[in-house]
Structure 1
Amino acid sequence: MVNVLFSAGVYRHIAVFHIPYIKLLQEKGYDVYVASTEDYGNSKEKLEQLNVKCIDIPYNRNPLSIDNYIAYKGITELFKRIKFDIIHVHSPVAAFLVRGARKYVPNGKMIYTAHGFHFFKGAPLKNWLFYFPLELINVKNTDVLITINSEDTETAKKLGFPEYKVVHINGVGVDIDIDSFSEEAKRSLKQALKISEEKCIITYVAEFNNNKNHMFLLRNWKKIKEQAPNAVLLLAGLGPNVKMYKNYIEQEELADIQFLGYRDDMDNILQISDVITLLSFREGLPKSIMEGMAHNLPCVVTNTRGLRDLVDHYYNGFVIEQGDDLQLIKSFVTLINNPVLRQQMGSKSREKIKNFSYDAVIKEYRKVYDQK
């Protein structure tokens, strides 16, 4: 029996991004395990329903947390107990710890997907000083490094990865075979959200944390509404900054903003949306933008690694500089007030995202898993 281990900081990461690849391996008759920790939601339960064996490992996003010493001990005990033929790791801390235990699985194939190195052009110096050496240490413990954007592929060379170890794959894939949502169903969903038909819906899908940079849009929302009064902003996700953003919106008396929380019907939300946005400081290759593109949506994004791999300025959206309030306002107002331009850019989004589809990407993952 071939045993495969997926490991990431939280079960949610695996459940959201990697189920198609778990199924691919299960179809080959492999036993799949996941070593991770729960944060919120029922991701572990979803994985177990797929006959995935889940093993709790107390990873902590803070690399210096004592939890990670305990996590390392847990990983080494797991490797002593079960022989794994393929180990596929994700997220910086989990990837560092699991690869650091490589001596316990000398014959297992160690694959690491870098979902955006924490050191990148424009990153704080402390990121380079801390995370770059962590990756450097584990070059020898990595059989295959999967990069998902062009900048990280170049960075892999600086780390000293030989070319044969680096595989560039277009992210984790996106479903482009979308079930059509009827006009009646769209109207019903809008009514449930209390959004009238003439409104232009901007959707922002991201965890509420500092990196996702919601405040860039919120602080400019009043000026956007002055020039485009039919704009509505839907914020989907959970995270530590929710209360802070809600307080800001209330204090500034910002109108037409809704917090959707966690939704398992994002396909439907995107089908009633007119624009997709993400203004992060750091990204790998964001699935939310990919899904928006699959739904024929124009994009407004920051000039950030991963985002600029998906969006070409004034082709399928707008790529704006961090902190440029005037450019941000102009980009949104232009799209909100011009439905023809939205349609043209949305069509180009749909065409471009075909190279990032599950069908295209899963072929590349199959090659990585099958390679001896």
Structure 2
Amino acid sequence: MKIVQVITRMDTIGGAQLHVRDLCIALMEKGHSVYVVTGGNVTLYKELDTIHCQSLIRNLNVVADIKAFVKVRHIIKNIQPDIIATHSSKAGVIGRLAGWSLRIPTIFTAHGWSFTEGVEAKKKKAYRIIERWMGRITGGVITVSEYDKQLAVKHKVLPQEKLLTIHNGVHETVRLRESRQPENRLTMVMVARFAPPKRQLELLKALTKLQQFEWEMLFAGEGPTLKEAQCFVDSEGLNDRVQFLGNRHDIAAILQKSDIFLLLSDWEGLPLSILEAMQCGLPIVASDVGGVHEAVKPSVNGYLIPPKDEVELVRTLTALLTSSTLRLQMGEQSRLLYKQHFTFEQMYDKTFAYYEKIIE
């Protein structure tokens, strides 16, 4: 099979980018031809056959968007793929329009809708209108959570028959429990870009109320709000407890040496970072948004925190920081849930079967 994957950016480390990378590598290993069309002129994923379209940018720009459509259409016409798989809002629109104009089947993977809860009201309305129109020319849509599927149905964006939930999945990695920190200094970690909808600063504010416990906090990721977080750490005297690791390619090793995983957000689809932490056997503390509840079961493998509820966040972290038994039990449940529902092989098999269905 010949496949084109279209995504707005591959110059950052994010859930959609890692999803595309892993899926493309698996497809190529099984003998399929895969091309990635993306914006800009830089990619962090050298193992992929990448074609750049510099006019494909995230923000709305009529001139650039028209140029991007023409360029992407030209690229796809030359490749003549069996199917086009699109990811992210802008690439989803341009890629599907190009496929429709060339009569090539298209799929859109919604890694969290742009009209989900937490997004500004005017933007939500605009995105719903756009997706309703795009749904008419789309062969099918994959949602990474059941929450996102039902959200699309609720707002009449797409009919049920054009939607399929395929939960994100992550690869198995070697677990190194023996490498974890001694219990007198527990390690917490958050893996996320420093940009909306992530809320690293909210987490830092809560941590100032937990200084009576022995812990260290690791942040993996970069982005526009990083400087603000660093300034806050300086002002609160937390430099000996908080580390900013930047973008890392050894996330599995970092998780395997940690004790608690955190992810605070205003909105989400189904974050790969949570699934990676579950695979490593960590208890999860995350915002109760999007499809997160499909992976994190309250009081089973972690806790769900209402958005912006600092009191509940502090209470939850206190419970985990003071009970090794609770951390161990929840970590074991995380690992079990991962094996049952969120392996990469499960995700790959369902995705490829859906490709075949849409082509047929």
Alignment TM-score, normalising by the size of structure 2: 0.91
* CA offsets 1:240-282 (integer angstroms, 9 cap, x no match): 1111111111122224000011111111111110000101111
Instruction: Specify the alignment match of 1:235 in structure 2.
Output: 219
Q: Does the 8 A contact of 2:39 with 2:53 survive in 1?
A: yes
Cα distance, 1:357–1:166 mapped onto 2, change above 3 Å: same
Deviation at 1:133, TM superposition (A): 1.0
Which of the residues 189, 193, 206 maps onto 2:192?
A: 206
Tell me, in whole angstroms, the C-alpha distance in 2 between the residues paired with 1:204 and 1:162.
Answer: 36
List gaps (5 residues or longer) in structure 2.
none
The 5-angstrom pairing of residues 69-84 of structure 1 reads: 69-84=66-81
The residue type equivalent to 2:47 in the other structure is: K
| Residue pair 1:208, 1:214 contacting (<8 A) in 2 also | yes
- Structure 1: state its 5+ residue gaps: 191-195
CA distance in structure 2 between the partners assigned to 1:215 and 1:357 by the alignment: 31
Who is 1:193 aligned against? none
Q: Would the aligned equivalents of 1:115 and 1:285 in 2 still touch at CA under 8 Å?
A: yes
Match of 2:283 among 294, 298, 307: 298
* Aligned with 1:32 (options 31, 34, 48): 34
1:182 is displaced (CA, Å) by: 7.1
- Conserved? CA contact 1:34–1:54, under 8 Å: yes
CA contact (8 A) 2:4 2:76 kept: no
> Are 2:112 and 1:116 aligned?
yes
Query: Deviations along 1:32-83, whole A, 9 cap, x unmatched?
Result: 111102487x524232xxxx24233432221246433321221122234332
Q: Against the structure 1 CA distance between its residues 23 and 299, is the aligned structure 2 distance closer, same or farther, given a 3 Å change threshold?
A: same
Alignment of 1:1-372 (within 5 A): 2-11=1-10, 12=12, 16-38=18-40, 42-47=43-48, 52-64=49-61, 66-106=63-103, 108-157=104-153, 158-171=155-168, 173-176=169-172, 178-181=173-176, 183=178, 186=179, 198-226=184-212, 229-255=213-239, 256-354=241-339, 355-371=341-357, 372=360
The Cα offsets for residues 192-212 of structure 1, whole Å up to 9 and x where unpaired, read as xxxx66211000000001311
C-alpha contact 2:53 2:72 (8 A) present in aligned 1: no
Helix, strand or coil at the partner of 1:333: helix
Paired residue type of 1:339: S
TM-superposed deviation, 1:234: 0.1
CA distance in 1, matches of 2:235, 2:22: 43
TM-score, length basis structure 1: 0.88
Secondary structure of residue in 2 paired with 1:43: coil
Distance 1:28 1:203, change over 3 A: closer
Is the contact between residue 38 and residue 50 of structure 2 (CA under 8 Å) also seen in structure 1? no
Query: How big is the alpha-carbon RMSD for the aligned residues of Structure 1 and Structure 2?
Result: 2.1
